[in-house]
Amino acid sequence: MPEPHRPVVLAVDDDPHVLRAIRRDLIRAYQGRYRVLTSGSGAEAIQILDSLINRNEEPALVLSDQRMPELTGIELLAAAADRFPSARRVLLTAYADTSVAIAAINEVRLDHYLIKPWDPPEERLYPVLDELLADWQSSYEPPYGGITVTGLPFAPATHRVRDFLTRHRQPFKFQDATESGEDIPAAELPVVTLPDGRRLAAPATGQLATALGLAMEVKHPHYDVAIVGAGPAGLAAAVYTASEGLSTLLVEAYVPGGQAGSSSRIENYLGFPSGISGVELTSRAVSQARRFGVDLLAPMEAVRLRRAGRAVILDLADGKEISAGTVLLCPGLSYSRFDAEGAARFEGAGIYYGATLSETTLCTGQHVWIVGGANSAGQAALHFSRHARHVTMLVRAENLESRMSQYLIDEINRAPNIDVRTRTILVAADGDDRLEHITLRNLDTGEEVTEDAEYVFTFIGARPRTEWLDGAVARDPHGFLVTGQDLGPRKTIGGWDLPREPLPLETSMPGVFVAGDARSKSIKRIASSVGEGAMAVAMIHRYRAES
């Protein structure tokens, strides 16, 4: 018998010939890592899924033919989703049924569909399943020894460690310190136990990155391009500069991905019809950048920007300096903080900024509150609705249509456990050492009510991370970085010493460019940030040619 902890890949088809073929191909590629099971009927497949529940096992992937007697593939995959929400679901279908498969993407959150036959599997089967299984593995907590985090569930320090590991795709097991059987002083929590037995007490993110082998050192005294911020804009620019032969350093203060990296599901990005998590998209981009030779320095904060002749100098938080011929600023945004009474006291202890996927398991079966009415709030609401008992959205506007994409509105309306309270704001938070209650105000009537609440996730706007650039480059009244023609004539720009006007995306400091959400008048979309990152590389080449 295979080890009981080995995840299952289940294939279902009532055609014996097709079932033998899919079993053969699955075993050839995945038998070493997964337990491959097959079934010739939907009813039998349901029995297999129920037996996995009884044995505390889990399927990573369920593939099902659509046209089966008694139970269609879509009905079977819906039943599988009820039992195992995280399992990836693939529909096997004939060409004539592709419209049914496309509709199922929204109806049962289908992850993919495959048209039969799938020969050759190396081109038409394995790439799809490899991607889905890798995505599933990124959130799967295997029952064997790995990283263990022992802490208090609602402590801000514990939340930071959990979030750091989650966004770095480092699987870990969380253990409540009050149930661990150990007498650990509060000042040492959380304790991170590594697979080799080392224990880190209340580690800083830099210490944790070093222990896990995630930290990197600067390899060169001078770079052609230094990029600050590893969000979509910075990662896209890094891929292009490095692939075009420029030595590139990418500096990130926390974890690559920025706000996009914390998104639970991105469904309107070109090329991913079933959507993709921010963590997965970021992971792919980082791998692509490293493949081209980008040096990634994270977590490391840039604290000052200055000129030294034609070189640009970045001062880092550890006291070191980075010299570069050009600098691209992609610092991104951080979510605005609540001004509600008492809210600051519960940050990381019940109030969270962004999706913070690390808290997903704690929210299982609970009531989750989402504050905000834009796309990021809608994506988070849908993500948590698959785990929480109930999700309530608090929206200042009169409806969702003013700021949210229609596809998200449609999905929210279909979700039975999501309700939306419009013209409602959160005005106060209360509790002891963790959030317990929130006070809500109706903006039309002024009526206030107090509700029980343990999990509040906020998406109430954002501000640029540009405070450290004050006095170095021009910023608008809201802190966004001003570039190109918006700077005005070159003669009016302080410190401008070139005989030409600033290039598009160039700041008031020659050779320093901006891309992404922190740029004044930018479009706050992932695709536009990626596009600006690519455009900035063209401007950097032009600057280098003229210098």
Return phi, psi of residue 230, to 5°.
-110, 45
> What tens digit of pLDDT does each residue of 395-430 get?
999 999 999 999 999 999 999 999 999 999 999 999
The residue assigned the tokens 């980075």 is 322
pLDDT digits (tens, 9 = 90+) for 442-496: 999 999 999 999 999 999 888 999 999 999 999 999 999 999 999 999 999 998 9
Q: Does the pLDDT value for residue 291 go beyond 90?
A: yes
Q: Is the pTM of this model over 0.85?
A: no
Task: Determine the pLDDT at residue 191.
Answer: 96
Rounded Cα distance, 227 and 219, in Å? 15
- For the ranges 159-168, 377-386, 531-540, the maximum mean pLDDT occurs at 531-540
pLDDT of res. 143: 53
User: Given this model, what pLDDT does residue 197 score?
Assistant: 85
Rounded Cα distance, 164 and 65, in Å: 39
Contacts of 64 (CB under 8 A, 6+ apart): 11, 12, 13, 42, 45, 73, 76, 77, 80, 89, 90, 91, 92
pLDDT of 145 above 70: no
Cβ neighbour number for residue 64 with a 10 Å cutoff: 26
Mean pLDDT across 345-370: 88
Distances (CA, A) of 338 to 294, 372, 457: 37, 11, 11
Share of the chain above pLDDT 70, in %: 97
Task: List, for residues 214-254, the tens digit of each pLDDT value.
Answer: 888 788 989 999 999 999 999 999 999 999 999 999 999 99
Residue 103 pLDDT exceeds 90: no
pLDDT of residue 5: 66
pLDDT at 146: 80
What's the CA gap between 422 and 444, in Å, rounded? 10
What's the whole-number mean pLDDT along residues 501-521? 97
| Higher-pLDDT residue of 268, 164 | 164
Q: Is pLDDT at 545 greater than 90 in this prediction?
A: yes
pLDDT tens per residue across span 125-142: 999 999 999 999 888 865
Q: Which domains does the chain have, with CATH numbers?
A: 8-139 (3.40.50.2300), 147-204 (3.40.30.10), 222-333+464-546 (3.50.50.60), 343-460 (3.50.50.60)
Mean pLDDT of 278-282: 89
pLDDT bracket for residue 285 (50, 70, 90): very high
Residue 539 is predicted with a pLDDT of 98
249 forms bridges with which residues in the sheet? 226, 295
Segments in 310-399 forming alpha helices (H): 375-385
Q: Which residues face 241 on adjacent strands?
A: none
Position 4 pLDDT exceeds 60? no
What pLDDT is attached to residue 144?
45
Report the alpha-carbon distance of residue 62 to residue 363 in Å, rounded: 25
The upper half-sphere exposure of residue 202, i.e. CA atoms within 13 Å in the direction of its Cβ, equals: 10
Specify the pLDDT at position 57: 85
> What is the residue whose two structure tokens read 């050759």?
120
CA distance 98 to 400: 31
